[in-house]
Amino acid sequence: MNILVVNWTWYPSGGDWTYVEHVSQLYSGLGHQVVPFSMKDERNYASNYSEYFIENIDYKKLNKRSLRAGIKVVSKSIYSVEAQKKLEALLTTTNIDFAHINVIHHYITPAILKTLKERNIPIIWTLHEYTPICPESTFISHGQICEKCFAGAFYNCVTHRCKKGSLLASTVAALENYAHRALNYYAYVDYYVCPSKFLYQKFKDFNFFPEKLVQLYHGYDYQKIEKAKSKKAVVSEKYIVFTGRLEKIKGAHTVLEAMKFMPDVQLKIIGSGTQEASLKAYQQQHQLDNVTFLGKLNKTETLEAIADSQFAICASEWYEVLGFTVVEAMALNKPVIGANIGAIPEMVIDGQTGLLFEPGNAVQLAEKIKQLLDNPQKVTEMGIEAQNHITRLINDGCHISGLRNLIAGL
């Protein structure tokens, strides 16, 4: 089969790309032809179909508060005429058996769904965030969980300026959701694949095509994990690790605050983001000499750093969809201290594969860290159970079998 795989980037850009790259490899391994459709970028992986990719869209224009620039961007984010025309050109030259959609909002836009359906191409959409039911996409407003847009009340995004604290950006986001709902693009999708039980239930609670929702955990390439294990160093230094984007919703600030109570615990932070400077300033202000920022590492370096650690921390403060950083740590036989939010508790079983703490509660996090450090035997036992649990939950066999069942029903 020729499978159209659609995503806003065709280069490593986060958890969505981790999935897109791997599922593309799974399709190819089964003898199918993957046909990518994405946005142009100098960081993209080479593709024979890049001529059909859409031009890059710069959303930083919204921050300039230019009404004219804003109108141009919002028109593209609601309905990309370019994406529609480029896709039509691609479909004219290449026969597509079914389409697998990933992250397309704001860039490629759901307008392509109509184009696909007009050609009777079945559509599966793997959900990586919450944009169809939350204009801000993360259910976070000014640092707090917010579900005020329930039942399509997207105007709340504007009144509360949820998107970047900007009236213009928030208005654009709300208009997108109103337009897509009015145009009923989402009805063209045959199945929505939900990577976690939490995300599945959240979309169901919001009455988003409940009859089309299917819960199916991701697959994962554990060969990378085995390579990292084989290179595991014998280190005298003992440390714990935090891996993730340095953004407010990922909770790195809570981890740093917890370190104030743990001066003898070494913490390594892997990642970069908009909060990096403020986090480093906080470290200096509070003389946290036990914290080391490693910056953004490649996948191999990251896995090896986790493999040499005692355990990992996932301190997210948003409705985490799944969290490949948790998957990787657990696959490396590391228990995880995770925030009790989103899909994290589906992986971190409290007292078995790790420990849970209240999101944003630095004191409680410090207590959980001490609890594990004081019981190295428990760390070992939890690490073994973590590896067993995550490979049962997240594996290629179950994932591709689930996709095959969906495809067979199209």
- Token pair in block for residue 60: 């930083």
Decide: 103 and 127 in contact? Cβ < 8 Å.
no
pLDDT for residue 120: 96
Q: What is the pLDDT of residues 20-52, one digit of tens each?
A: 999 999 999 999 999 999 999 999 999 999 999
CA distances from 246 to 27, 70, 82, 279, 293 (A): 33, 27, 33, 8, 11
Please give the Cα distance from 377 to 192 (Å, whole number).
42
Q: Categorize the per-residue pLDDT at 232 as very low, low, confident or very high, splitting at 50, 70 and 90.
A: low
Q: Do 229 and 298 have their domain in common?
A: yes
Residues 6+ apart with CB under 8 A from 168: 62, 65, 67, 70
What's the whole-number mean pLDDT along residues 165-194? Answer: 92
Q: Do 273 and 387 have their domain in common?
A: yes
Give how many domains the chain has, as a whole number: 2
**At 7, which CATH number?**
3.40.50.2000
Q: What is the pLDDT of residues 242-262, one digit of tens each?
A: 999 999 999 999 999 999 999
Q: Do 105 and 19 have their domain in common?
A: yes
Q: Categorize the per-residue pLDDT at 352 as very low, low, confident or very high, splitting at 50, 70 and 90.
A: very high
Q: Do 184 and 269 have their domain in common?
A: no
Judged against a pLDDT cut of 90, whether residue 61 lies above it is answered with: no
Q: Categorize the per-residue pLDDT at 351 as very low, low, confident or very high, splitting at 50, 70 and 90.
A: very high
Please give the Cα distance from 121 to 96 (Å, whole number).
7
Q: Do 185 and 232 have their domain in common?
A: no
Look up tokens 């040499």; give the residue: 308
Please give the Cα distance from 58 to 39 (Å, whole number).
11
Q: Do 204 and 324 have their domain in common?
A: no
Q: Do 96 and 202 have their domain in common?
A: yes
pLDDT for residue 374: 95
Q: Do 355 and 235 have their domain in common?
A: yes
pLDDT for residue 74: 63
Judged against a pLDDT cut of 80, whether residue 81 lies above it is answered with: yes
pTM given for the model: 0.93
- Token pair in block for residue 363: 């004191």
Host domain of residue 344 = 223-393
Q: Do 202 and 59 have their domain in common?
A: yes
pLDDT for residue 73: 62
Q: Do 229 and 375 have their domain in common?
A: yes
Q: Do 297 and 240 have their domain in common?
A: yes
pLDDT for residue 70: 57
pLDDT for residue 57: 75
Q: Do 6 and 23 have their domain in common?
A: yes
pLDDT for residue 169: 85
Q: What is the pLDDT of residues 212-227, one digit of tens each?
A: 999 999 999 999 899 8
Please give the Cα distance from 394 to 264 (Å, whole number).
35
Average pLDDT, the chain: 93
Q: Categorize the per-residue pLDDT at 231 as very low, low, confident or very high, splitting at 50, 70 and 90.
A: confident
